[in-house]
Amino acid sequence: MDRPSTAHVYERAGFGRPVVRGARPAVVVVDFTYGFTDPQYPTAVDMTAPVLATARLLDAARAAGAPVVFTTISYDAAQVAALAWLRKAPGMAALQVGSRLVEIDQRLSPRPDEHLLTKTGASAFFGTALAGHLASVGADTVIVTGATTSGCVRATAVDAVQHGYPVLVPNVCVGDRARAPHDASLFDINEKYGDVVGLDDVLAYLEALRPDPPEPEQLSTTTSQAEARA
């Protein structure tokens, strides 16, 4: 007897339905710092393609008035000595407070009025005020980009939907150190936690939310009563 395909198994179980997009999306850029995007560091790989794709997305989000949040992951000396995660993944201890590795990649042109939060776990929600910030800006959908797909991006997508947000993950705006975990995580996110979509889809979504430009003032061609009396 042939085994059913993966797609059939998930379809039969009721996974993979599309999310309902809101009118006030926020973009959460997860850990696109030099410690993940600059391959001179052992913790990083070349993330040029997803970084530049995210830069395009951010241009569209800013034009639409969508809130943007950046995250960085960094540790002080006490955390390096104590955190269980850093015993499992000791290479992450290089992401130390004040180092270049924890700075946002400047190709994304972060703005002073865009929220930057520091985290020490995988999810952007864990131990941070992200949920409160998203509520305060009235977000009703979360677009997740960043690194790594199988780690902090996936964890953030899971927590976002658990906080009640529809989730979109543009597939070219996330990156990982290896292809297999990247692909597996995108499949998992798309089936269970959010929609993995193309960049053009998200750009069109944001374009549709752009405020209409104000109409130019019309000069009156009629004579006012004061002018008529004069």
Tokens of 90: 């000791």
Q: Is 173 considered catalytic here?
A: no
Residue 122: C-alpha distances to residues 43, 71, 214 (Å): 15, 11, 42
Q: How many CB atoms lie within 10 A of CB 163?
A: 14
Q: Is residue 194 within 8 Å of 19, Cβ to Cβ?
A: yes
Of the residues 152, 172, 173, 196, only one is catalytic, namely 152
Tokens 């391959």 correspond to what residue? 39
Main-chain phi, psi angles of 195, to 5 degrees? -105, 125
Sign of CA dihedral 155, 161, 165, 171: positive
Tokens of 192: 């269970």
- Three-state DSSP class for residue 174: strand
Q: Using alpha carbons only, how large is the chain's radius of gyration in Å? A: 22
Tokens of 4: 């059913």
46-61 in b/e burial notation, b at 16+ Cβ within 10 A?
ebeebbebbbbbbebb
Residues taking part in catalysis: 152
